[in-house]
Amino acid sequence: MATFAYGRVSTKDQTTENQKHEIEAQGYRIDYWFADEGVSGKVPASQRPQFSKMLGQIRDGETLIVSKLDRLGRDAQDVGATIKAMASRKIEVIVLQLGKLDLTSPAGKLMLNMLAAVAEMERDLLVERTQAGLARAKAEGKVLGRPTKTNDEQREQIISLHKQGASISSLARNYGISRASVMRITGALS
């Protein structure tokens, strides 16, 4: 029976190599490695390209190894559904973070639910802190978001030239901005 391993990172700047190395360092021989890079943890496991591909290849009775519980799903419900689907196929799921624990046993299910709930709470708290920080920055008058490519004077010129008959495309080329930006400035998107 083959051993499958799965890794996931949220941004393209990160790599799953550390997760793979962590699994191999625990003495597991990986027959098939699947990794989703640049895929947010908010995406349900079944909608991740490589995870879905892996589900199509792993056979009943084989083994899946992940480094951490949150690699298996976005929240307690998603993790639970993923584990349940694996258990129905007699696929052993090993989460290095938990040690050698059968996640389909009553004790394993309890541990799984508790850890998934804690991970979900941590994500919610992170979002809450981020929102509070953004609100504070706005209250302090800081401008959030991407800096504009045009200044007030350029925007006035664009509006004037558009009224005089200049095309959206030519204005976009001349000012080095997208057609959508020109349309937003001129009110053509309204």
| Residue 10 annotated as catalytic | yes
37 neighbors 9 (Cβ within 8 angstroms): yes
**Angle formed at CA 87 by CA 30 and CA 92, multiple of 5 degrees:** 25
Q: What is the 3-state secondary structure (H, E, C) of the chain?
A: CCEEEEEEECCCCCCCHHHHHHHHHCCCCCCEEEEEECCCCCCCHHHCHHHHHHHHHCCCCCEEEECCHHHHCCCHHHHHHHHHHHHHCCCEEEEHHHCCCCCCCHHHHHHHHHHHHHHHHHHHHHHHHHHHHHHHHHHCCCCCCCCCCCCHHHHHHHHHHHHCCCCHHHHHHHHCCCHHHHHHHHCCCC
172 neighbors 181 (Cβ within 8 angstroms): yes
Catalytic positions are 10
